[in-house]
């Protein structure tokens, strides 16, 4: 029986992140969907969330610290996914111009400038080429980040329990 111990919650978070990253890689390498800069930023946030969950599972102590880190990474993911959803809902004439590829940005621009371009996104980020039950991949990602934030906040705010 699965309980709501911090360790079990982190196991569920880790499994969800592995599934999401797996599908992201499947959609890229099998379906041929090229991730935009904001998609790559969201993937980085997923990796942070999964990494913090994995460390919490291994460490078995200090789950509140890891929950805080998961919450912060989730907020970063919410910001990236929220920006992409916003770009996707802009009228076509207001969508920013498409920029260079991620590889080009990292090779050509100073790291701080490339990071700024990565976080702000560009015209490619407004393209919706995948939907499931009417929601784009960015909208689903936003929902997952909100869910991870909720789980992290729940662990942060609940009364201390014995870690399993």
- 56-72 residue pLDDT tens: 999 978 789 999 999 99
Domain count, the chain: 1
pLDDT of residue 1: 41
Short-list 110, 122, 101, 111, CA closest to 38 = 122
Choose between 14 and 129: higher pLDDT. 14
pLDDT of residue 3: 57
pLDDT of residue 162: 52
Compute the distance between CA of residue 76 and CA of residue 81 in angstroms, rounded to an integer.
9
- Asked if residue 136 belongs to a domain, the reply is yes
- Asked if residue 149 belongs to a domain, the reply is yes
pTM of the model: 0.81
- Rounded mean pLDDT, 98-104: 63
Compute the distance between CA of residue 21 and CA of residue 134 in angstroms, rounded to an integer.
21
Work out the pLDDT band at 112, boundaries 50, 70, 90.
confident
- Asked if residue 10 belongs to a domain, the reply is yes
- Provide the Cα torsion 41, 10, 22, 1; round to 10°: -160
- Asked if residue 75 belongs to a domain, the reply is yes
- Asked if residue 162 belongs to a domain, the reply is no
Work out the pLDDT band at 122, boundaries 50, 70, 90.
low
- Asked if residue 95 belongs to a domain, the reply is yes
Burial class (CB in 10 A: 0-12, 13-18, 19+), 132: exposed
- Asked if residue 99 belongs to a domain, the reply is yes
Residue 161: both structure tokens together: 């329990």
pLDDT above 60 (res 27): yes
Short-list 52, 51, 75, CA closest to 65 = 52
136: CATH: 1.20.1550.10
End-to-end CA distance of the chain: 13
Compute the distance between CA of residue 97 and CA of residue 121 in angstroms, rounded to an integer.
10
pLDDT above 80 (res 101): no
* pLDDT 10s digits, 129-159: 888 898 999 999 999 999 999 999 999 998 7
Q: 5-36 as b/e, with b when 16 or more CB fall inside 10 Å?
A: ebbebbbebbebbeebeeebeebeeeeebebb
- Asked if residue 64 belongs to a domain, the reply is yes
pLDDT above 90 (res 99): no
């Amino acid at each position: 029986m699965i309980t709501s111990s911090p360790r079990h919650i982190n196991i569920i978070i880790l499994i969800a992140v592995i599934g999401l990253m797996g599908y992201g890689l499947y959609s890229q390498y099998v379906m041929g969907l090229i991730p935009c800069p904001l998609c790559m930023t969201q993937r980085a946030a997923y990796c942070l969330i999964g990494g913090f969950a994995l460390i919490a599972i291994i460490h078995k102590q200090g789950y509140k610290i890891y929950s805080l880190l998961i919450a912060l990474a989730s907020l970063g993911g919410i910001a990236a996914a929220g920006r992409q959803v916003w770009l996707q809902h802009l009228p076509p004439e207001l969508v920013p111009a498409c920029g260079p590829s991620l590889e080009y940005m990292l090779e050509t621009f100073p790291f701080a400038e490339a990071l700024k371009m990565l976080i702000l996104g560009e015209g490619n980020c407004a393209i919706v080429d995948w939907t499931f039950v009417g929601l784009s991949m960015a909208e689903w990602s936003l929902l997952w980040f909100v869910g991870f934030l909720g789980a992290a906040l729940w662990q942060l705010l609940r009364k201390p329990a014995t870690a399993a």
